[in-house]
Amino acid sequence: MATITLLSNKTKISNPSEVKDFLGKQGIEYRLWETSSDINNLLNQESLSDQEKEEVLLKLDNRFQELSKEFGYKARDLIVLNPNVPGIQDMLAKFDKLHYHTDDEVRYIVDGSGIFGFLINGQKFTVEVEKNDFISVPKNTNHWFELDSKLRIKAVRYFLDNSGWAPVYVNEKDLISSN
């Protein structure tokens, strides 16, 4: 279950309906989806082969079909990050700075945890996500992402296409001075 922290005063929001309501007002879709227990043996592994990733995706295909119908997503993959992934710090450094994408950033966390940060209308807040959290960040929304201290996450990523996924970096000072 996600937890929101308002960075201005450290207020925390963790009640699922309040999380959904707060994020909805920011244009961010949030859902709480239980993963199927028949894939826990795979999700509990630190890393997965390509075949095992595909097995997880197939077991979660009902979610993909639902999102495809609702939003038109055409592709998905499973990203698996842990401390033993070669170059993990360099990979994470691409996303821990304020940026946006020209396509929605859609994640279904199926294991582990991480932190999305947002700067929307001058308000900064973080959303700690963990297993069973689904979050859809609309295109052109200023955000960042980092793993928590466990450095472990498995997330299904959904795409309209992969072309809008590259980060476009933003200078926070420019945003604050323009508001």
* 177 has pLDDT over 60: no
Q: What is the pLDDT of residues 45-94, one digit of tens each?
A: 999 999 999 999 999 999 999 999 999 999 999 999 999 999 999 999 98
Integer angstrom CA distances of residue 25 from 30, 71, 91: 11, 19, 31
Crossing angle for the helix pair 50-59 and 61-71, nearest 10 degrees? 60
Please answer whether residues 160 and 103 qualify as being in contact, where contact means their C-beta atoms are separated by less than 8 angstroms: yes
Phi, psi at 50, each rounded to 5°: -60, -40
Mean pLDDT computed over 125-150: 96
* HSE toward the beta carbon, residue 14, CA cutoff 13 A: 7
* HSE toward the beta carbon, residue 34, CA cutoff 13 A: 3
d(CA 109, CA 131): 5
Percentage of the chain surpassing pLDDT 90?
87
pTM, rounded to two decimals: 0.93
Per-residue confidence at 172, pLDDT binned at 50, 70, 90?
confident
* 16 has pLDDT over 90: yes
pLDDT (0 to 100) of residue 175 = 75
pLDDT (0 to 100) of residue 179 = 54
d(CA 160, CA 147): 24
Structural domains in the chain, sorted by start: 3-178 (2.60.120.10)
Q: Output the DSSP codes for 114-151.
A: EEEEEEETTEEEEEEEETTEEEEEPTT--EEEEE-TT-
pLDDT (0 to 100) of residue 81 = 97
